[in-house]
């Protein structure tokens, strides 16, 4: 089943001689439960594509449908509500709250959405990500790797329809980047999540279901791993 669809997405930044076409008429469909990696050289438009698909950056042209619902047709409050309910984010620099402990950070998006925390589910995620011993630790007490795990746990906890991950602006070393990919892949299989991840890591072929290669704001290669 198609969970997310982008149609003729175009996004430009700047004007006249400073004009940059970050996305140039991109269309794609994403299967529910799949793990898609978005790769490509620097400033090719990867993050812009992710942000447009996630309802964070409105395209100049084109449409995004999440489970058949047109994203940019709704007002901002509804879009924010939809993002909270349906999307999980694992972005670089994690946006974790330093005055909260690990478990408080993980359940924060659920509280923001005025939903009941599924304690059993959260417990399972915490255990799966190896955070049980760190549950009550503060964020600054964790290593970078530990913080990454909290960010992944937080994205999973609200049972989103899709998880968006972007490591592109950061400087994750190859090992941390592999770890994030492995953890997301495990989560995708265990919790039947759909994952879209922007990465510089090219060693992903075995893990992901699909690799989308972007160059100059266009899809230049779309490789699906059919098992
Ligand atoms: N907020 C913005 N304002 C102006 N220009 C932007 C903005 N965001 C992106 N761009 C431009 O759009 C183009 C695509 O950027 P984008 O960040 O999507 O590429 P990327 O492939 O994710 O790059 P990287 O891998 O280096 O992070 C670049 O030329 C960038 O400078």
Give the model confidence (pLDDT) of 51-71 as tens digits.
999 999 999 999 999 999 999
Task: Give the model's pLDDT for residue 113.
Answer: 86
Question: Residue 214 CA: which ligand 1 atom is closest?
Answer: 21
CATH fold of 33-58+75-224: Rossmann fold (3.40.50)
Residues with CB under 6 Å of ligand 1 are 13-14, 20, 22, 40, 42-48, 168-169
Cα 21 to Cα 29: distance, rounded to the nearest angstrom = 21
pLDDT at 175 over 80: no
Tell how far the Cα of 16 is from the centroid of ligand 1, in angstroms.
Answer: 17
Tell how far the Cα of 123 is from the centroid of ligand 1, in angstroms.
Answer: 37
- How confident is residue 29, by pLDDT bands cut at 50, 70 and 90? very high
Helix (H, G, I), strand (E, B) or coil at 224: strand
Contact 3, 67 (CB under 8 A): yes
Mean pLDDT of the chain: 90
Tell how far the Cα of 41 is from the centroid of ligand 1, in angstroms.
Answer: 11
Q: Say what the pTM is.
A: 0.92
Cα 185 to Cα 79: distance, rounded to the nearest angstrom = 27
- Bigger pLDDT: 202 vs 25: 25
- Bigger pLDDT: 202 vs 81: 81
Residue 200 CB coordination number (10 Å): 17
Tell how far the Cα of 167 is from the centroid of ligand 1, in angstroms.
Answer: 13
- Domain locations along the chain: 33-58+75-224
pLDDT at 168 over 80: no
Buried b (16+ CB within 10 A) or exposed e, 31-51: eeebbbbbbbeeebbbbbbbb
Highest mean pLDDT among 22-31, 76-85, 150-159, 179-188: 22-31
Query: How large is the average pLDDT for residues 158-185?
Result: 80
pLDDT at 177 over 80: no
**DSSP summary character for residue 129:** T
């Amino acid at each position: 089943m198609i969970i997310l669809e982008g149609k003729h997405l175009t996004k430009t930044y700047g004007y006249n001689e400073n004009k940059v076409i970050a996305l140039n008429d991109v269309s794609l469909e994403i299967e529910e439960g799949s793990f898609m990696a978005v790769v490509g050289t620097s400033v090719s438009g990867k993050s812009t594509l992710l942000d447009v698909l996630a309802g964070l950056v409105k395209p100049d042209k084109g449409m995004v449908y999440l489970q058949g619902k047109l994203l940019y047709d709704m007002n901002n409050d509804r879009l924010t509500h939809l993002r909270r309910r349906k999307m999980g984010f694992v972005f670089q620099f994690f946006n974790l709250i330093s005055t909260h402990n690990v478990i408080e950070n993980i359940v924060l998006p659920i509280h923001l959405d005025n939903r009941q925390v599924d304690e059993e589910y959260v417990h399972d995620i915490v255990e799966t990500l190896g955070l049980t011993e760190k549950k009550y630790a503060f964020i600054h007490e964790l290593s970078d790797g530990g913080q990454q795990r909290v960010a992944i746990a937080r994205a999973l906890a609200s049972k989103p329809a899709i998880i968006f991950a972007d490591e592109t602006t950061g400087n994750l070393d190859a090992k941390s980047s592999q770890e994030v990919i492995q953890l997301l892949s495990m989560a995708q299989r265990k919790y039947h999540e759909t994952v879209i991840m922007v990465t510089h890591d090219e060693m992903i072929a075995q893990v992901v279901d699909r690799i989308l290669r972007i160059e100059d704001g266009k899809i230049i290669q779309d490789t699906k791993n059919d098992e």
